Amino acid sequence: MANVNVKVNNHEVSVPAGITVLEAARYAGIEIPTLCYLKEINEIGACRICVVEVKGARGLVTACVYPVSEGMEIFTNTEKVRKSRKLTLELILSTHDKRCLSCIRSGNCELQHLCKEFGVDDEDYFEGENPQYDFDDSTAHMVRDNNKCILCRRCVAACEAQMVSVIGPNARGFDTHISSAFDKDLAHVSCISCGQCIVNCPTGAIVEKDDTHAVFAAINDPEKFVIVQTAPSIRATLGESFGMHIGTNVEGKMVAALRRLGFDRVFDTDIGADMTIVEEATEFIDRVKNNGVLPLITSCSPGWVKYCEHYYPDQIPHLSSCKSPQQMFGAISKTWFAKKYGIDPANIVVVGIMPCTAKKFESQRDDQNASGYPDVDIALTTRELARMIDTAGIFFPKLPDEEFDNPLGESTGAAVIFGATGGVMEAALRTAADLLTGEDLEDVDYKEVRGTQGIKEATYNIGGMDVNVCVASGLSNAHEVMERVKNGTADYHFIEIMGCPGGCVNGGGQPIQHAVVHNFIDLTSRRAAALYSADKDLPKRKSHESEVVKNLYQDFFGSYGSEKAHKILHTSYVKRPKYK
């Protein structure tokens, strides 16, 4: 692409033709503030925080959508620009709930940050009608508070990008508000609980439902034996909540923090991931050999599973019956672990630390209670764990590195990469290839399914059979793949689908980064790189090689796919209406 020459605050810079003023300013080392803008998701120029002066233009222009041209002169910090931005912020605050001290986003709120930057306080500059809205806390995973909404529509765009679109602007003019159709509670529409609206909201208008109080109560109950498990991706993201670089692996410090919070055992969900792989690979081989329903589609992502139940209920037979790693781990904790250590499962509380708000919904699903009690009692997001660590006064960056407890703390590299899109597929291929060939194959890197592309396809010859695989992340890509499956236009044998774009490392429960980070830094790649690095360094990189997995089957389950394994480690699904 050809370049054009522009001036930004009187400094000449050469930039690619066709980019926006916002992007051109970054080439000049200038950060133009934004609120509504999300690159490739919400490019509507609505909030007008990003306005700048352009020589020759009539009035101020919105930098996020205004294209550069040869010889353009741009001014980003004039008195006129600053006054306009401040006035816009004052107008936004005029109908905003300004109880910032008690807001869960205080200190990490883009509106709060901008108000501080432009000297806007909480005075009522524009008195008048101020509409009040009730909370919507009808779902298991989140709370909506329109009193803190600034109508940026980033949540709406994120929901549309996920092909769900259950929220949008209702009414008109001053009465405009974000809600579901006919102002229904979120529990009464086909929301799939992915939480992408939460991580893209700039304020505290949408937040996860906080369950930390229940965890503290369980820890402080002498009758309860509290087990915590951490999902593969948490080690690559938790550090961000404490100012550490994106993509820092904080596994050791995470374990140390959890131990100091008072959990009775600190275990690794990666064990559940290894178990998922051996069960799923066995299920795949059984379907191939016995003319079962193909393609087999992974069931690790509860957001994707709920999407399938709502939007493709006729395709449910393609879903693997395996529980997710979180639920498998909980089931193992309340059956095998409880029996081995003589603990009444009624007194065991299993807490999952998850990248995903949909895990809160998943833990409450039917057919997720192998012991007669819920497999997982409480699912927390990465953000909730960070708040618990802060509340307890634990100085995370200075903690020593500690190891997970035994016997459910040793896992394989295959389990670690579950957190990245393509990771489940690669882990499954490592085990399926060995089981199909009867060999211990040395090449375990299936790089064709790695990367952040929305859809990836590959064909591998395993045991003389060409296995066609597909990996999709984000539900817009899942929709495209499922249409191919539904219409019979794709010859896949095995499909991995993750509900969130980029997989669990970009889940709806992960640390919230300001829009500028999302817009100009590849969060997904940096976080995923930490997982692939950990995989490479582990001595065992195939799930079926795990000593813990071997012992579990020898002592308890018998064989892969056994009747006992199916009773405890597998589940069922339901057809849900697309609209309620």
Of 363 and 40, which is predicted with more confidence? 363
| Separation CA 223–CA 482 (nearest Å) | 47
Mean pLDDT on 380-401: 98
Is pLDDT above 90 for 130? no
| Separation CA 206–CA 254 (nearest Å) | 26
pLDDT, one tens digit per residue, over 165-204 is: 999 999 999 899 999 999 999 999 999 999 999 999 999 9
Is pLDDT above 80 for 1? no
Residue (of 186, 226, 221, 177) closest to 207 by Cα position: 186
Q: What is the residue-averaged pLDDT of the chain?
A: 96
User: Looking at residue 455, what is its pLDDT?
Assistant: 98
Neighbours of 63 (CB within 10 A): 28
User: Looking at residue 341, what is its pLDDT?
Assistant: 97
Is pLDDT above 70 for 499? yes
Q: Where are the alpha helices (DSSP H) in 212-347?
A: 212-219, 251-261, 270-289, 302-311, 325-332, 338-340
User: Looking at residue 462, what is its pLDDT?
Assistant: 87
User: Looking at residue 579, what is its pLDDT?
Assistant: 64
E strand or H helix at 435? helix 423-437
Is pLDDT above 70 for 2? yes
pLDDT, one tens digit per residue, over 74-104 is: 999 999 999 999 999 999 999 999 999 999 9
Who contacts 420 (Cβ-Cβ below 8 Å, separation ≥6)?
233, 450, 502, 503, 504, 505, 524, 527, 528, 531, 532
pLDDT, one tens digit per residue, over 244-257 is: 999 999 999 999 99
For residues 200 and 158, the answer to whether their CB atoms sit within 8 Å is yes
Total residue length of the chain: 580
Domains in the chain (CATH in brackets) are 3-77 (3.10.20.740), 93-208 (3.30.70.20), 213-569 (3.40.50.1780)
Q: How confident is the model at residue 557 (pLDDT cuts 50, 70, 90)?
A: very high
The answer for 127, left when phi > 0, alpha when psi is -120 to 50, beta otherwise, is beta
* One-letter amino acid of 543: S
In this prediction the pTM is 0.96
Mean pLDDT on 27-53: 96
- What percent of the chain has pLDDT above 70? 99
Mean pLDDT on 18-47: 95
- What percent of the chain has pLDDT above 90? 94
SS3 assignment, position 145: coil
Strand order in the sheet with 11-16: 11-16, 3-8, 73-75, 51-54, 61-62
Is pLDDT above 80 for 522? yes
Question: First vs last Cα of the chain: how many Å apart?
Answer: 48
Is pLDDT above 90 for 122? no
Mean pLDDT on 448-460: 96
